Amino acid sequence: MSTLVIVESPTKAKTIRNYLPQGYQVEASMGHIRDLPQSAGDIPASVKGQEWAKIGVNVEADFEPLYIIPQDKKKVVKMLKEALASADELVLATDEDREGESISWHLLQVLKPKVPIKRMVFHEITEEAIQLAIANCRTVDEHVVRAQETRRILDRLVGYTLSPLLWKKIAWGLSAGRVQSVAVRLLVNKEQQRRAFRRGSYWDLKASLSKDQVPFEAKLVSLGGTRIANGGDFDEATGQVIAGREVLLLGEQEALVLQARLQTQPWTVANLEERSSTRKPSAPFTTSTLQQESNRKLRLSARDTMRTAQSLYEQGYITYMRTDSVNLSQQAIAAARECVENMYGASYLSPQPRQYSSKSKGAQEAHEAIRPAGSTFRTPQETGLSGRELKLYELIWKRTVATQMAEARQTHVTIQIQADDAGFRATGKRIDFAGFFRAYVEGSDDPDAAIEDQEVVLPTLRVGDTPNCEALEAIAHETQPPARYTEASLVKTLESEGIGRPSTYASIIGTIIDRGYAQMTNNSLVPTFTAFAVTALLEKHFPELVDPRFTARMEQTLDEISTGEAQWLPYLKKFYSGEQGLDTQVKQQESLIDPTEARTIELEGLEAKIRIGRYGAYIEASNGEEIVKASIPQDLTPADLDPAQVQLLLRQKTEGPDKVGFHPETGEPIYQMIGPYGPYVQLVIKLKKIPNPKWHLCRRE
C-alpha cells in the first residue's frame, strides 16, 4: 500500500521521512497552493469584467472567494497530482493551526482525491510524535477552515476597499488593514503623547555613606516631614507637579543650600525593615512571549524570530511555534525536571511539578507551549546548532527548564537614615536562594551576572548606628516622555487588547515598516508623517475600523466561527453590506474627504502646514506673497519637529545654506545643509575649465 503525505515545506518533509516506514511518500506543498488574486493579471478572463473581481471576493454572491493557483505554484500542483495518482491513501500533515487546516482544505479542493483521506496532526516532529499522530488521524475541521476563510475575506475587504481611497486622497501605494491600521494608530497615539509631553525638572540629593568600610548609597526622600517630589509627581501635559500632590519641589538653589547645610550634620539610622519575598518562574513561551523576549534579549525582530523558530520546528528541535497555550505535557515536565536534577541538583527542583494555565481567551492554536521537542531535552551544546538558531533554542530551553525549578527567595532591605530634618532612604536586596535564576532571568542573557546585578549589598546596620557621609551630591533630574513602542511592547499591547492573532504579529509589524508607516530607530518603532495622515483620515471617517475594542470583538467573533458558535455569512453581510456596511461607508465618505486636507497634518504649536507629497513630508509656509516649501528629513519625527526646526528648514530653503567654515588649504567655504536623510556638510569647489561652481558632497555628519 502506498500513502502520500503532504506537508508545507521541504525541510519538514525531510525530517518526517525519517520517522515513517516504507510505503510513505512525503511531499511539500510549499505553503498555500491557491489564494485570492494579488494583481489584475491574476484575475481569470471569465470574470475580468466584473467589478467584484478586483477585490477577489464576489460580494454579490454570498462572498464567494475567487481562488486562483498562482503561476509559481502550478508546477507544485502538477507534481502533487502525479504523486497522488499512484497513491492508495492521502494523509494531510499540515500544521496544527487555522492556517494549516486551511492549507489542507485547499489541497482537497484542488487535488480532488478519490482515495481515502486522513488529517494527521502533531505539535512536534519527533519519531514518537509522528508515530502517535499517524495512528490517530482525524478529518479536516470545517469550522476552523471557515473561520480562517472568513478572516481572509475580512482582511481582503478592508484592504481592497480602503487602500484605493488612501491612494486617491493621500498618496499612491499606501495600504489599510484590519489589524495593521489599529497597530499604526497605537504608534501614532504614543507619538502624540510624546509631542504633548512637557518636561518637568527637579533636584534631589544622593549621599555616599559607609559603615565598617562597606560603602552604600542613600537618596533624599523627605525634608521636614514632607515628601520630596520625584518624576512620578509631574503632569506630562504641563511639566508641573500634579495639583493636590503634597510634595516639596526642590530647585537647584534649594538643593545646593540643603547640601551645604547637611555636610556637617550627623547621620543616624532611624529605621530598618527587612521583607522576604519569593519569585516564581515565568510560564513557558507562547508565540507572543517568545517574540517579546527574543526582541529584548536577542534583538531579533518578530519576523526574524518566527523564521528562526519555524526552522527549529521543521528540523525537529522545538514544538510548534504558533501557539497561545502555556500548557506543558507530562512528557515535557518530566524532561525538564530531569534536566534540572542533572544540571543543577535536586535542591533546585520545584517540590511539585509546576503547570501553567492560559489567560488568553482564544488559547486554542495548539496543545502545548513552545518547548524543546522530545521526551528528553537536548542541551543547546548537544544540538550542533549555531548562530540565531542556537541562541533562540537556548532561550526556549532555559525558559522551559526554569519552569520546573524552585522559587527564588529574596530579602528586601529598606533603611531610613536621618540627617537633621532630612530623611534619606537606602535600599538593598539579598538573594537568599537563587532557585530558577540559575537557569533563566527574564530580560537578561547571563543568569549568573543577572543574579549579581540584582543583589544590592548593604552593611550590617542597626537603629541608632551612625554611618559616615563620604560625599553628598546635588543631582538635577528631568522627566522623560512616554517611551515609544518597541516590537516587544507593541506585541504585548496587541495581545493584551485582543487585537489580531500572535501568529500574525510578525507580518503586521513587517508590513508597517515596509509601507513606510514606521521606521526602526534604536529598537523603537517611530511613526512617520504618513502614518499621522492616514490615522487622522481613518479616525475621522472610519473610527470603528481603528478602534481596538471593535477589532478585538471581530477576533472574538472569528473564534466563535471556528467553534461553530457563530455563522460566518451573516457576519460578513453585516460588516460589508447594508446601510452601515463598509462598502456604503466608503462610498458616502469618499465625496466628503478633501485630498488637500487629508494630506495635511495638524501639529499643535506649529503655524506652518505639514503636508504629504509624492516624495514624502514637507513644510509649507507663506513668505510674503510667496509660498515656500521645504522637505522634512526622513529621520526627523513628528514628535521632534518644533518651531525652531521649521524655521531653520524654511530659512535654508529661502536664504541658502549656513556657512560653517572654510577649507584650511584652499579657503573655499563649507556649508551646513539639511537633506532628506538629515544634516550634512558641503564644500564648494570651483572646477577648472568649468565656468560655474559645482556642488560636491564632501562629508556627511
Say which residues have a Cβ less than 8 Å from residue 277's Cβ, sequence separation at least 6.
409, 410, 411, 412
**Length of the chain, please?**
701
- Residue 626 bridge partners (DSSP): 623
Output b/e per residue, 543-580; b: 16+ Cβ within 10 A. Answer: eebbebeebbebbebbbbbbeeebebeebbeebbeeee
Say which residues have a Cβ less than 8 Å from residue 655's Cβ, sequence separation at least 6.
none
DSSP string, 611-673: EEETTEEEEEEEETTEEEEEEPPTT--GGG--HHHHHHHHHHHHH-PEEEEE-TTT--EEEEE
C-alpha 53/C-alpha 156 separation (Å) is 12
678: region left, alpha or beta (phi > 0 left; psi from -120 to 50 alpha): left
320 is catalytic: yes
C-alpha 5/C-alpha 25 separation (Å) is 6
Of 592, 632, 640, nearest in space to 611 by CA: 632
* 214 membership: H or E segment, kind and range: strand 214-223
CB atoms within 10 A of CB 443: 9
The residue behind cell 481515502 is 116
The residue behind cell 489584475 is 40
Number of helices (H), then strands (E), belonging to the chain: the values are 21, 24
SS3 for 474? strand
DSSP string, 56-112: TEETTTTTEE--B--GGGHHHHHHHHHHHHT-SEEEE---SSHHHHHHHHHHHHHH-
CA angle at residue 513 from 512 to 515, to 5 degrees?
70
C-alpha 408/C-alpha 679 separation (Å) is 51
52: region left, alpha or beta (phi > 0 left; psi from -120 to 50 alpha): alpha
Question: Which one of the listed residues 19, 313, 317, 320 is annotated catalytic?
Answer: 320
> At 373, which amino acid appears?
A
Say which residues have a Cβ less than 8 Å from residue 610's Cβ, sequence separation at least 6.
529, 600, 601, 602, 603, 617, 618, 619, 620, 632, 638, 641
Of 365, 369, 343, 364, nearest in space to 354 by CA: 369
User: Can you read off the three cell numbers belonging to residue 23?
Assistant: 510505503
Ordered strands of the 626-631 beta sheet: 600-601, 609-613, 616-623, 626-631
Would you give the DSSP letter of residue 138?
A: B
User: Can you read off the three cell numbers belonging to residue 668?
Assistant: 573655499
> At 139, which amino acid appears?
T
User: Can you read off the three cell numbers belonging to residue 155?
Assistant: 482582511
Catalytic residues, by residue number, are: 320
